[in-house]
């Protein structure tokens, strides 16, 4: 029998299973730097959700191959789910993208509590099965030309895998890096942003390889990518380890509770209580407003640059509506480079801003996001009117870095305010803000653009009003962030409640308490060579993705 925080755990009835949380408690000597590459292995795979648009054009010609076989006017969305005689519209295929992020938020909120108790390895395995299995179901849907199978496969099953994979490392990384919470979560969530940088060019290369005069090559690409992703994700899941209860880095002393801007608590809140805590909803609004402003711009970045600057992008003194087809193709190439540049800042910002938050504190970091972001959005109409491409592009690069930084900083913000015991589950519930923003942001930007065009405004001016609306969103986020305060004592678990939660989470004070009965070695020393190999396994694909992205960026500067 062992005692933790005054609570007693019964002796294990038998050896823990391969996926059980007890099996992955790290013993003395374990190198915590093995955990981030395990998280990256999963996030780089599920991050391909951002890059699924690379499939839309070839899938829209899956039957016609060269030209799409258009459906008749009597074929609505429901009929498109089952038709085998005409090609899917790109707008219909886009529903998969919407479902990804809606299901991500729902599944993370629904199963976040289970994840805390089951452990990151089991959650990572379930994520791999769902994400990769969903891609295989989608491949079958492409083969049979049944869109409902693609919705079920990648949209629903894959979306569940997204949610579990996204939050699987959060709690574990925060516990391994109590001294660098922001940096640790920034590394993993950087991987989610970087997944499309690897997956999109890989998918394009595979489709080109598999394409034939009678096949666009998407089905085979789905199968290959599903198998490759499964290997990486399973390696990541089995690479997870959790620290012993009470573990801390050698020589590190926890900061005083609620010190200055960091507001770091040493106590813990149960996930079942967060719906009723005002601070949770304030941080929910903080994330929702930050993401809404950024995600709307991401979706319209390419047409925005083209319509605002027109022929000046290629040294021609004509507006967008005055360009011929060859010129439109040329500025589209430049705009693709702009989009690639934004993706680099989105990814880099996740690590940069999350790491900076360890120094500034989470609340101050979000103040920077909202104040600086608001100034930059407000400056966009002026830089567009002045014809300054440098100021326009620079503003959006910084804005997108803070968009990514908001995702990466919020898990550490939650750990500071609500404690670390159930931060993964609480983060899962907070991701409903992302699902909401995924609808709100694009709707505001897209519909405002259409409304401005309907009023007869020139294309180079249709985004001005939208920028001011996004400034308003950031002001709302800023006010909510300023209202965040340390929690009252009533919201925290008592010692007895915490002990019970630790029991349900299968925690042990030391790894040897499991090792004695299960045969798990209590010494977890790892060769430095293994650490280097683990980082190379995720670093090489990431560097390849950055290289391919830089090739696109070069078209912008060219």
Q: What is the mean pLDDT of residues 406-413?
A: 95
Tens-digit pLDDT profile for residues 195-249: 989 999 999 999 999 999 999 999 999 999 999 999 999 999 999 999 988 888 8
* pLDDT at residue 27, rounded to an integer: 83
* pLDDT at residue 290, rounded to an integer: 94
Rounded distance, CA 555 to CA 553, Å?
5
Q: What architecture (CATH level 2) is domain 41-56+91-250+508-552?
A: Up-down Bundle (1.20)
Q: Give the CB-side neighbour count of residue 87, counting CA atoms within 13 A.
A: 19
Q: Using an 8 Å Cβ cutoff, are 161 and 23 in contact?
A: no
* pLDDT at residue 173, rounded to an integer: 93
| Residues in the chain, overall count | 558
* pLDDT at residue 91, rounded to an integer: 80
* pLDDT at residue 15, rounded to an integer: 55
Q: How far is CA 15 from the centre of its chain?
A: 35
Residues in CB range of 66: below 8 A, 6 or more apart: none
Q: What is the mean pLDDT of residues 405-409?
A: 95
DSSP-assigned beta bridge partners for residue 135: none
Percent of the chain residues past pLDDT 90, beyond the cut: 54
Closest-CA residue to 196 (of 548, 440, 445): 548
The two three-digit tokens of residue 334, written as one number: 């430049």
Tens-digit pLDDT profile for residues 247-276: 888 888 876 654 444 478 889 999 999 999
Rounded distance, CA 133 to CA 124, Å?
13
Whose tokens are 């010494």? That residue is 523
Question: 3-class SS at 417?
Answer: helix
The two three-digit tokens of residue 296, written as one number: 């709307």
Q: Using an 8 Å Cβ cutoff, are 52 and 249 in contact?
A: no
DSSP-assigned beta bridge partners for residue 3: 8
* pLDDT at residue 310, rounded to an integer: 85
Tens-digit pLDDT profile for residues 416-461: 999 999 999 999 999 999 888 888 887 787 778 778 878 888 877 7
The two three-digit tokens of residue 281, written as one number: 């909803």
3-state secondary structure 475-496: HHHHHHHHCCCCCCHHHECCHH
Question: 3-class SS at 51?
Answer: helix
Q: What is the mean pLDDT of residues 136-146?
A: 96
Rounded distance, CA 136 to CA 154, Å?
8
Q: For 255-498, which CATH class?
A: mainly alpha
Of 49-63, 150-164, 287-301, 495-509, which gets the smallest average pLDDT? 495-509
Say what the alpha-carbon torsion angle 172, 174, 176, 178 is, to the nearest 10 degrees.
-160
Q: Using an 8 Å Cβ cutoff, are 147 and 377 in contact?
A: no
Confidence of residue 21 (pLDDT cuts 50, 70, 90): confident
* pLDDT at residue 253, rounded to an integer: 80
Rounded distance, CA 410 to CA 427, Å?
8
* pLDDT at residue 460, rounded to an integer: 75
Of 123-127, 396-400, 432-436, which gets the smallest average pLDDT? 432-436
* pLDDT at residue 521, rounded to an integer: 42
Percent of the chain residues past pLDDT 70, beyond the cut: 92
* pLDDT at residue 256, rounded to an integer: 62
Closest-CA residue to 284 (of 426, 98, 97): 426
DSSP per position, 62-127: TTTTTS--PPPTT--HHHHTT-SSSPPPHHHHHHHHHHHHHHHHHHHHHHHHHHHHH-HHHHHHHH
Tens-digit pLDDT profile for residues 290-323: 999 888 777 677 778 888 888 888 888 888 888 8
Mean confidence (pLDDT) of the chain: 87
pLDDT at 517 over 50: no
Rounded distance, CA 56 to CA 67, Å?
14
Please list the alpha-helical segments (H only) found in 152-277. 158-167, 170-176, 181-210, 218-239
Confidence of residue 51 (pLDDT cuts 50, 70, 90): confident
pLDDT at 102 over 80: yes
* pLDDT at residue 449, rounded to an integer: 76
Q: What is the mean pLDDT of residues 161-182?
A: 92
Residues in CB range of 312: below 8 A, 6 or more apart: 387, 389
Rounded distance, CA 104 to CA 160, Å?
6
Query: What is the location of CATH 1.20.1250.20 in the chain?
Result: 41-56+91-250+508-552, 255-498
């Amino acid at each position: 029998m062992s005692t933790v925080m005054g609570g007693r755990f019964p002796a294990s009835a038998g050896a823990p299973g391969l996926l059980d949380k007890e099996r992955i408690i790290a013993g003395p000597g374990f190198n915590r730097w093995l955990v981030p590459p395990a998280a990256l292995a999963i996030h780089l795979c599920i991050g391909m959700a951002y890059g699924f648009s690379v499939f839309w054009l070839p899938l829209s010609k899956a039957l016609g191959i060269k030209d799409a076989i258009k459906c008749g006017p009597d074929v609505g969305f429901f009929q498109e789910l089952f038709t085998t005689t005409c090609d899917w519209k790109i707008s219909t295929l886009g529903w998969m993208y919407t479902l990804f992020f809606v299901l991500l938020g729902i599944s993370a909120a629904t199963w976040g509590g289970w994840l805390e108790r089951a452990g990151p390895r089991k959650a990572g395995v379930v994520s791999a099965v769902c994400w990769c299995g969903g891609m295989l179901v989608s491949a079958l849907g492409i083969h049979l030309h049944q869109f409902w199978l693609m919705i079920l496969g990648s949209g629903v099953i894959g979306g569940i895998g997204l949610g579990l994979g996204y939050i699987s490392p959060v709690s574990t990384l925060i516990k391994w890096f109590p001294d660098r919470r922001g940096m640790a979560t920034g590394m993993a969530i950087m991987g989610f942003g970087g997944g499309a940088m690897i997956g999109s060019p890989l998918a394009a290369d595979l489709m080109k390889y598999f394409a034939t005069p009678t096949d666009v090559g998407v089905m085979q690409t789905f199968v290959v990518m599903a198998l490759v992703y499964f290997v990486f994700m399973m390696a990541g899941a089995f690479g997870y380890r959790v620290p012993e209860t009470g573990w801390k880095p050698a020589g590190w002393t926890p900061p005083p509770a609620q010190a200055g801007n960091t507001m770091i608590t040493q106590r813990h809140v149960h996930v079942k209580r967060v719906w009723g805590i005002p601070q949770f909803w304030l941080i929910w609004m903080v994330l929702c407003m930050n993401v809404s402003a950024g995600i709307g711009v991401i979706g319209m970045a390419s047409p925005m640059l083209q319509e605002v600057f027109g022929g000046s992008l290629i040294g021609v003194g004509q507006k967008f509506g005055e360009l011929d087809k060859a010129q439109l193709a040329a500025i589209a190439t430049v705009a693709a480079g702009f989009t690639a540049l934004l993706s680099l800042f989105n990814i880099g910002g996740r690590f940069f801003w999350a790491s900076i938050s360890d120094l500034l504190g989470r609340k101050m970091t979000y103040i920077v996001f909202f104040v600086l972001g608001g100034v930059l959005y407000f400056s966009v109409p002026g830089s567009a009117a002045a014809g300054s491409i440098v100021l326009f592009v620079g503003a959006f690069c910084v804005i997108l870095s803070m968009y990514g930084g908001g995702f990466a900083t919020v898990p550490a913000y939650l750990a500071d305010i609500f404690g670390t015991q159930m931060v993964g589950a609480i983060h899962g519930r907070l991701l409903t803000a992302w699902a909401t923003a995924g609808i709100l942001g694009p709707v505001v930007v897209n519909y405002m653009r259409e409304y401005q065009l309907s009023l007869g405004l020139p294309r180079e001016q249709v985004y001005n009003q939208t920028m001011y609306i996004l400034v308003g969103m950031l002001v709302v986020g800023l006010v909510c962030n300023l209202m965040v305060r340390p929690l009252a004592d009533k919201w925290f678990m008592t010692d007895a409640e915490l002990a019970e939660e630790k029991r349900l989470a299968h925690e042990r004070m030391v790894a040897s308490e499991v090792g004695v009965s299960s045969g798990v070695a209590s010494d977890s020393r790892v060769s430095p060579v293994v650490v280097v190999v683990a980082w190379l396994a995720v670093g090489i694909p990431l560097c390849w993705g950055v290289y391919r992205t830089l090739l696109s960026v070069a078209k912008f500067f060219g």
